[in-house]
Structure 1
Amino acid sequence: MLWRWTEVLRSNREFAKLWTGQASSSFGSAVTTVAMPLTAVVVLHASPLQMGVLSALTVVPHLLFGLPAGVWVDRFRRRPILIVADLGRALLLGTIPVLGAFGLLRIEHLCAVAFLAGALTLFSDTASTTLVPALVDRKRLMEANGASMLNQTVAATAGPSVAGGLVQLVTAPIAIALDAISYLVSAVCSFLIREPSHPVRSDDSRPRSAPMRAQLTEGLRAVFGNPLMSALAVSATLGAVAGAMQGPLVVLYMVRELRLSPFLVGVAVTVVGVASVAGALVAPAFSDRLGPGRSYIVGQLLVSLAGFVLAAPGGPMVLLASVLFLGQTLTGLGLPLFAVPQRTLRQALVPDHLLGRVTATWRTLVIGGQTFGALLGGLLGTALRLRPTLILSGAGMLLGFLWAARSPLRSLTHVPGAEPAT
């Protein structure tokens, strides 16, 4: 419930500073998600190939640097990493409106910004995730992660609409300046955080001297050597690959197969955002009631069913739209219900000195999986048409659900290290 995550913000000033910075940068990033492609299309007249490259470059750093980023985050304090990443992204994004104002902006510059900002985002997200359990008592991790998820869902819901209005009023490159400013605000919030001392392994007084390969291996062992972590990693990766097959095709399916008007497409996309906000609000209480393992499993089931529901519509427009919005609601609700407990469990199960490597390993598997899943979805959508591909993606996500449902997660009633809710 709402009071639970507002309480963790009121009672923990250091986490409130981190949360405020995240809120600012999340909203700015949601604006850039719309404004940067519009800059490429409207201002630079980018080709479809150039648009594909631009989109891919935001993800490529996770595949190239994901595992090493975890090692670096574990070696150093998280607060300076957050500050440098925020200032770096503010500088990078700030060059777009400046060059645009002088008519010097080129697609190569946008691609460079996308790649470098993506690399900084990798370090920032890894550091912020590992910093949360250092700032928040383990008993409040679920509420803290629920508050962070609410940031993301509200920004993802409202940001694109704001971005559209800004682009209309001040052009796309100038709209990106808002994102640059949001990172400056985030940098200030990060600077004000008082970070606890970064712990050192009890079995190694010089963790920085260990070879990079050995530290990477240690992170992988932490993920797959624990039955709960292994179940989370495998099921989440399966769900990410299958979900990414579906993601790029949903709007195309609504327009070409269901022949929905642009207005109804917009409403359907908005439904996901609104449902995600609702899911983020109830996720901590839902997890307390069912247990974090079962909450994760239920959330995965809801998202898995969405693909089948989306592929079902037929008949009168009223029935078609109702079933479509049901599928979008399942997607929106399910995402926070499994995302909040899985993040909380990672933070609770992994020792602090390994959390950066585990987080980076997780992002490499899941985000890397999304890259390959999106490509696979495009290939299958072309070969099999859209409706069968949606069904296959739902089956893939259902496989991730079944993997989790048959694992020790199903009997996990509370966050390890925290007392069960009473």
Structure 2
Amino acid sequence: MHRGSLFRHADFRRLWAGDTASQFGVFVGTTAVPLLAAVTLAATPFEMGLLTAAETIAFLLIGLPAGVWVDRLRRRRVMLTADFTRFALLLSVPVSWWAGVLTLAQLLVVALFVGIATVFFDIAYQSYLPSLVGREHLLEGNAKLQAVQSTAQIAGPSAAGVLVQLVTAANTVLVTSAGFLTSALCLLRIRTVEPEPERGGHARLAPQIAEGLRFVFSDKPLRAIVGTTATANCFGGAFTAVQVLFLTRTVGLPPAAVGVLLAVGGAGGILGALCSGALTRRIGQARAIWLVPLCTMPGHLLIPLAAPDWRLGLAAFGAVAGGFGIIVYNVAQVTYRQAICPERLLGRMNASVRFVVWGTIPLGGLLGGALGEGLGLRGAMWVAVAGEVAAVLWVVCSPLRHLRDLPTEAKSGSGAA
């Protein structure tokens, strides 16, 4: 059994290093790809909504069966396949740009298939951590990985904005592609032997999917968490669909400034990741899930006030506050669901949660595109942030509000109390 900081755990360090490269690439891509569509390919608000939908619709299309497949396979192998696939797909974007044949249609197809690979990677990734570090280290492991994500959220968009101005958006996508390649190379160096997947249970797909869904929705705290995350992600998808257009066309910021503003929220995320363990232990895991976002998410209401003057500072403050709350919430709720789930159900549990909470993002992307066309970009931003703030009501109005701590041991059956 490993003791002490996880940074003394060699294989966790390899996972952490790969995640660092991957997350940096992801957040470069979250700025470079929309800028490529909006500035270089002159996409409309509705087309930007389609791009957001294409990136995440795979969670709706294959999210549930993917969980069953992940439970039948070694999870590190699934992650490696997904990383190499995303590397190759994203490499096609700058290659097509160099050849003068890049189109919005290709960008949509690449986004769709990268999203499919991401479904498998994310389900396998969250299911792999307990077997790598042990359930007693999940809070520390998730906090360290969230710190990486938040740091990348600062460095990635800032670097992307500068790179887009210097070398074009298409060439900047190379950084995202390289991040996935580096992640795969780090995963290849992990030496911990992964447990053999259990072969028992239902042979058919549908009963196994149903078992995962039943586990998730029979647990009252987990049900409330899923409701909050799904609602926030839906309106977050609407927000993502229009934010780059809003910042470039309504506020009038150049790409470098857009990158900096998008990165600011990551500062709050880093603070949240650094404080999440101590804060959760001090106030309790249940309160970290409902009280922290209740106090911080209203900061997002300042973002639509952005203008090319002092009001940019208000928007930045709102992004920092929201980023802090989101990360503390995520560390607490992901640790809870990993801890209570039996090993054999981890893939299906994570897939069931992801199916719902990520499946709303493409719907939100289409909603954001439609709102941008109908209400204008600032109006669409107001609707999006109001929905994100209201999402916390699921956990505030749940039994979580009357608890301090939550169970941290795996349940024995396929159902939950």
Query: TM-score if structure 2 supplies the norm length?
Result: 0.84
| Structure 2 SS opposite 1:58 | helix
Cα distance change of structure 1 residues 306 and 130 upon mapping to structure 2, 3 Å threshold? same
Which position in structure 1 is the counterpart of 2:210? 217
Alignment size in residue pairs: 403
Amino acid at match of 1:231: A
Which position in structure 2 is the counterpart of 1:3? none
Matched, 1:79 2:72: no
Report if the CA contact (8 A) 1:304-1:395 is conserved.
Answer: no
Report if the CA contact (8 A) 1:21-1:186 is conserved.
Answer: yes
Aligned mate of 1:192, from 189, 209, 224: 189
Amino acid at match of 1:60: I
Which position in structure 2 is the counterpart of 1:161? 158
Query: TM-score if structure 1 supplies the norm length?
Result: 0.83
Aligned mate of 1:284, from 277, 292, 301: 277
Q: Deviations over 1:148-167 (max 9, x none)?
A: 11121111211122223333
- Counterparts in 2 of 1:59-78, with a 5 A limit? 59-78=56-75
Cα separation, 2, equivalents of 1:22 and 1:237: 24
Which position in structure 1 is the counterpart of 2:19? 22
Cα separation, 2, equivalents of 1:380 and 1:39: 21
Matched, 1:271 2:264: yes
Which position in structure 2 is the counterpart of 1:97? 94
Which position in structure 1 is the counterpart of 2:169? 172
Q: Deviations over 1:329-363 (max 9, x none)?
A: 32121111101111111101111211111212212
Report if the CA contact (8 A) 2:57-2:361 is conserved.
Answer: no
| Structure 2 SS opposite 1:152 | helix
Matched, 1:401 2:396: no
Cα distance change of structure 1 residues 344 and 110 upon mapping to structure 2, 3 Å threshold? same
Name stretches of at least 5 consecutive residues in structure 2 with no aligned partner: 411-417
Which position in structure 1 is the counterpart of 2:346? 355
Aligned mate of 1:413, from 393, 405, 408: 405
Cα separation, 1, equivalents of 2:76 and 2:181: 14
Aligned mate of 1:235, from 228, 231, 242: 228
Amino acid at match of 2:186: C
| Structure 1 SS opposite 2:347 | helix
Q: Deviations over 1:44-63 (max 9, x none)?
A: x3542554433322112111
Aligned mate of 1:57, from 54, 57, 61: 54
Cα separation, 1, equivalents of 2:388 and 2:34: 29
Cα distance change of structure 1 residues 78 and 313 upon mapping to structure 2, 3 Å threshold? closer
Amino acid at match of 1:166: L
Which position in structure 1 is the counterpart of 2:112? 115
Matched, 1:331 2:322: yes
Cα distance change of structure 1 residues 157 and 415 upon mapping to structure 2, 3 Å threshold? farther
Which position in structure 1 is the counterpart of 2:200? 206
Cα separation, 2, equivalents of 1:387 and 1:228: 35
Cα distance change of structure 1 residues 293 and 120 upon mapping to structure 2, 3 Å threshold? same
Cα separation, 2, equivalents of 1:25 and 1:157: 14
Cα separation, 2, equivalents of 1:25 and 1:308: 30
Q: Deviations over 1:250-304 (max 9, x none)?
A: 67777888x6866987665443121122111111211111111111112321343
Which position in structure 2 is the counterpart of 1:226? 219
| Structure 1 SS opposite 2:77 | helix
- Computed over aligned residues only, the root mean square deviation of the Cα atoms, in angstroms, reads 3.2
The share of aligned pairs that are identical, in percent, is: 36
Which position in structure 2 is the counterpart of 1:129? 126
Matched, 1:364 2:355: yes
